[in-house]
Structure 1
C-alpha cells in the first residue's frame, strides 16, 4: 500500500539534517532512498526518534563510493555507516528472501534455524517482509514523500498492536533477540503484543542461550537503560525470559523473604527510570549492581559463615557470581569493575568512626555506593539509621562531622597510647 504525502503526518521538517543529506545524495546518484524502521514509526507516533536509518538498493560498496565519510561494518549483516561527526546514519541494502539459495550460499547461512549471516540483497518488497515487526516495516520515500506499507504496519500502529511479520516461532528462531525486542517495543510504546506473536515468548526463552554474550549485553542496555526498566523487568519475568538472562537472580526472586529482594530490584529500576527521565547521569555499572546484588549478598553470607575477612569475602562472592553471569551476559570491565566496587563499599559504609568516613567520602565510587545503600535501606535490607547517618554526614559542617565520628577516634587514640607507651605522637600518626 502506498500512502501519498497528503494522507500522512510525516514531515521532512522532523527528519535530521544529516539523514536528509544521505537520502537526497543517494537519490541524486539514481539509487532508491527510503527512511525506514524506528525513525518512521516514531515520527508517525509523534515521538522524537533517537536514530534515523536508511534503506536503499545500493550495495554497501556502492554506498561507500557515494560517501567519502562512510565505513562498512558487520559480517553477519553488512551495513554502511555514514559519519557526520558523532552522528551516524546507518544505511542498509534491501535484503532478499534467500528462498532460491541452496543452503551453501556464503552470503546467507542458518544454524539450527538461526540466521548467522545474511547478505543476500533483493527488492524493497522482499526487504519489508524480512523485517521483524510490521510497525518497523514502513518506508518513507524521499522521491515523492509517500509512505510505503507492505505489511499492514499502519493499521497495527493505529491499533497500538505489536505483531511479527510471518510465522512468529520461525522468526524468533531466526533471531531469538526478537523476543527481547518484542518486550522492549511493548514497554516503550505502550503497545499490546498480538496473541500469536506473544505465545512463543513463554516457550522459547532457552534460545537466548545461543546468542553471543556481548550482544545480549547491548540488548539489555537498550531494555533497562531507556526509562522503562521496571516495566521491562516485570514483562521479562512474566514471559519467563528473565531467568534465562539472570538465572542466579531469578532463583533468589523465587524464594523472596518479606517481598525482598523483589522490592529492592523494583526500587532500583524505578530509581534508574526516574533519573533517565530527569536527564540525570546513570551508568550500567549501577544497573547491573542492582540486578546481581542478591546473589552476591547470599554468597557473601555463606562464605562469611565459613570464616574470613569481610572485605576478602565480598570480593570472593563477587567473583563467584560474576564469573557465572559473564558466560550469559558479557559485562565489559569498564562497568563490571565499578559494579564490584559499589558492592565492596557497602561493608565500609558500616565503619563510621575515626578517619574512615573522611577517606570513604573522598572515594570516587562513594556517591554510587551511598545511593546503593539508600536503596537497600528503602527495601528493608540495610539499616535505615546507617543510611540516615551518611546523609547527615555529607551535609554536616566540619565541627558536626568531628562530633559524629568522635567516639571512635578517642578509643583508637587510647589504644595507641597503651600499646606504644610514648609520651607524644605526631599529628600524622594520629590521623593515619
Structure 2
C-alpha cells in the first residue's frame, strides 16, 4: 500500500550464541549494563540494540549504547530516578549517568493502530509511538545491520532480518522496499552513505539503486536537520569517503548544488583536490581528538562555489573587493535554501575567504594587523590547503609561516623596512574607523 510504512520482510529468529560472536560485556558501557539488568529484574525484556551491537561485531568501539525494551517510556522512568522523557514524534527515555546518556526506546510496531500515535504525511513517517514486539521493532529499523539485539540473559545476539550475515559480510542493506523506505525518510540516503563510509561497508545493490533517482527528495528535508546530518557526515573521521559517496550517488549536487557545479566546470580538478586534501586533514584531526570548526568545514566545502561566483562577478567588471563580499554573501544565501547554516558559522566562514586576498600584502602595518586578526590562524590554515590546488601560493605560505615565529624587529627586517618607533602602538591599535580599500588585485578568484 503506497504511502504507508507497512513492511513485511520475513522475521525468522536466528540466535547467535556467545561462542559464535565477538561481543564481550567488558566492551559494553557499565551504565548500559546497569539499565539492561534493572529492566530485566523488573520483569521487562531489554536488549542492547543497533549501532553498538553492529560496531562491536566488526571490532569497533561504540561511543553510544542504546537499549530497546518492551517497557513503555513511563515504565522506564519509574525504574530510574535519573531518567527524563524526550520527544513527541518519537518518545524516548534518556537515563542520565553524569555525561553519559543511555537511550532507551520502547519496541515500535509497524502498523497504524488507529490511535493517532503513528502518522504519515505524503509517505513520510512524522510520528511513531505505536508499541509492539521485538519482532515488530526489528522490521521497522532502517538497515539490517542496525536490527541486531544483544541479550544479557544468555549473551547471545538475536537476528530477525539477516543482519548478522550482512554485518559479517560488511554489507549495508535496507529492510523492506528501498524506494519506500527512502520516501518515508529521505535522510536515510545520507545515513546509507555515512554508515558505509564509517564502517567500510558496501551498500547492497538494491539499496543503492534508488538513491540517485530519489536524491532530489532531500531538498524537501528540514534545513536544520540537513545541517546536523552534514556535521555527522564530515566530522566523524570519515569525511573523504563520505564526500566520495555523496558524489557517487548524486547527493552532493542536492546538498551543495553550487559547489557541485563549480567542481564539474573545473577541468583541471584542482578545486576537488583541495577539498579532498582539506577533508583528509579533517579526518586526521578527528583521529587525533583535535577540534574541527564547522565554520572551517563549510569554508572548505563551499570554496569552489565562492571561487566560481567571484570569477563571474569580476568578469562583469565588479571591483575586486566588492566582488569578494558579494560572492561570499551570494553563496551563503543560496546555500541557506538547502542547509540551515547558523550565523555563528557562516560569518567566520566568510572571514576565512575574505582574508585570503590579504596574504599577498607585505606592508608592515597590514602584516601586523593580519597577524593579530582573530581569524588569522584559520585563514592561514586555509591558505596552506590551497597549495593542494595551486603551487602559486607557496611563497605566501612560506612568508606567513615564518612571520608567525618572528619578533616585530625580525619581521621588519624580513620586509625590508626599518622598525617604526611606534611599532608597538601600531600593532595593538584597532583598525582605522574609516574603511580602506584593501587590495587592487584578487588572488581568491584564481580558478584553482
Same-fold status (TM-score > 0.5): yes
Which residue of the partner structure matches residue 62 of structure 1?
A: 75
What do the CA deviations read for 1:295-353 (whole angstroms, capped 9, x no partner)?
A: 12232333345566655543332221111111211122332222122112212323221
Asked whether the equivalents of residues 38 and 136 of structure 1 are also in contact (C-alpha less than 8 Å), the reply is yes
Alignment of 1:283-362 (within 5 A): 283-304=293-314, 310-362=320-372
Structure 1, unpaired ranges of 5+: 414-424
User: Could you tell me how far apart the structure 1 residues matched to 2:62 and 2:175 are?
Assistant: 22
Q: Which secondary structure does the structure 1 equivalent of 2:364 belong to?
A: coil
1:43 aligns to 2:56 (yes or no): yes
The higher-RCO structure (CA 8 Å, 6+ apart) is 2
Residues 373 and 382, structure 1, Cα contact 8 Å, conserved in 2: no
In 1, are the aligned partners of 2:365 and 2:426 still within 8 Å (CA)? no
Q: Report SS of the residue matched to 2:305.
A: helix
Change (3 A) 1:405 1:305: farther
SS at match of 2:340: coil
Indicate yes or no: 2:266 matched with 1:252: no
Distance in 2 between the 1:426 and 1:211 partners?
56
Q: 1:81 aligns with which of 94, 111, 115?
A: 94
Measure how far apart 1:428 and its partner are: 7.8
Task: For 2:422 and 2:60, locate their aligned partners in 1 and report how far apart those are by CA, in whole Å.
Answer: 65
Change (3 A) 1:360 1:23: same
CA contact (8 A) 1:109 1:117 kept: yes
Cα distance change of structure 1 residues 353 and 145 upon mapping to structure 2, 3 Å threshold:
same
Q: Does 1:387 align with 2:400?
A: no
How has the CA–CA distance of structure 1 residues 382 and 110 changed in structure 2, closer, same or farther, with 3 Å as cutoff? Answer: farther
Q: How far does the alpha carbon of each residue in 1:254-299 deviate from its partner, in whole angstroms, 9 at most, with x for none? A: 1113112111211111121122222232111111110101212232
| Cα distance change on mapping 1:429 and 1:182 into 2, 3 Å | closer
CA distance in 2 between partners of 1:81 and 1:269 (Å):
33
Residue 175 (structure 2) aligns with: 165
User: Aligned residues, how many?
Assistant: 415
The 1:316–1:32 alpha-carbon spacing in structure 2 relative to 1, beyond 3 Å, is same
More helix by share: 1
Partner of 1:196: 206
SS state of the match for residue 81, structure 1?
strand
Aligned partners of 2:77 and 2:93 also within 8 Å: yes
TM-score scaled by structure 2?
Answer: 0.87
Distance change >3 Å, CA 430–CA 29, structure 1 → 2: closer
Determine the C-alpha separation between the residues in 1 that align with 2:404 and 2:100. Answer: 40
For the structure 1 residues 232 and 381, does the alpha-carbon distance in structure 2 shift closer, same or farther, using more than 3 Å as the test? farther
Task: For 1:156 and 1:370, locate their aligned partners in 2 and report how far apart those are by CA, in whole Å.
Answer: 45
Asked if the contact 1:23/1:142 (under 8 Å) is kept, the reply is: yes
Deviation digits for residues 197-219 of structure 1 (CA, Å, limit 9, x no counterpart): 11111211011112111111111
Alpha-carbon distance in 2 for matches of 1:79, 1:427: 61
Match of 2:445 in 1: none
Give the Cα separation in 1 of the matches to 2:425 and 2:348.
31
Structural RMSD (CA): 2.2
Q: Distance in 2 between matches of 1:430 and 1:131?
A: 62
| CA distance 1:25–1:352, change in 2 (3 Å) | farther
Instruction: Give the SS at the match of 1:49.
Output: coil
Q: Indicate the residue corresponding to 1:416 in structure 2.
A: none
